[in-house]
Amino acid sequence: MKDKILITYSTRTGSTKGVSEFIGKTLTDLGESVDVLPMNEIEDLSHYSAVIAGSAVQSGKWLPEASDFINTHKNDLNKRPVAVFLVCMTLVMPKGENYRETVSQWLDPIRSLVSPIDVGLFKGALDIKKIPSFSDRFKFRLSVLLRVWKEGDHRDWDSIHNWTVKIKSHLDKSNSSLN
């Protein structure tokens, strides 16, 4: 069975897991067979025809274990179509759309290891009580008071849906060019 698509993610407070499950559900509704799994559970990519990998952003980067996952599996990833995405709060800022280019550059270290067929930049969620570190909770409370962004779930399901449909059409095209 090599027709499955793997959607794999790295998360701290759960919003990237939710995005991954939604991508999985969308692809399933479009007739694909998928696994949605955290990156730390993946050892072998041989069962998968394509991989969609995503991470939460912290300090302008993918989470360290997500970058490690790409580095560890880069040879296998480069043998199949790969799409990557990130989930962050910068795009939630009042003029967040102006920062898309900067946000996209956060994936440059990943682009240096694999050549994604597409890159998804998604708005995330801020639930301050779920942030483990006291000083990070303090910083985020301050940022909300200063109206940098609002607490809450800002994930844009329409935009994630549209991106997933685009990925499906890329995959269909690359399959038909192989046949």
Interface contacts to ligand FMN, rule CB under 6 A: 11-16, 56-60, 87-90, 124-126, 131, 136
> Please, what is the minimum distance in Å from the beta carbon of residue 178 to ligand FMN?
34
Q: Copy the structure tokens of residue 107.
A: 């994936």
Angle at 123 between CA 140 and CA 25, to 5 degrees: 130
Among all residues, whose Cβ is closest to ligand FMN? 124
**C-beta closer to ligand FMN: residue 34 or 39:** 39
Q: How far is CA 117 from CA 5, 23, 91, 161, in A?
A: 14, 16, 22, 16
b/e 93-115 (16+ beta carbons within 10 angstroms → b): beebeeeeeebeebbeebeebbe
Q: 118 in helix, strand or coil?
A: strand
**C-beta closer to ligand FMN: residue 161 or 170:** 161
**C-beta closer to ligand FMN: residue 23 or 125:** 125
> Please, what is the minimum distance in Å from the beta carbon of residue 80 to ligand FMN?
24
Task: Find the helix packing angle between 157-178 and 15-29, rounded to 10°.
Answer: 50
> Please, what is the minimum distance in Å from the beta carbon of residue 174 to ligand FMN?
28
**C-beta closer to ligand FMN: residue 49 or 164:** 164
> Please, what is the minimum distance in Å from the beta carbon of residue 74 to ligand FMN?
23
**C-beta closer to ligand FMN: residue 117 or 144:** 144
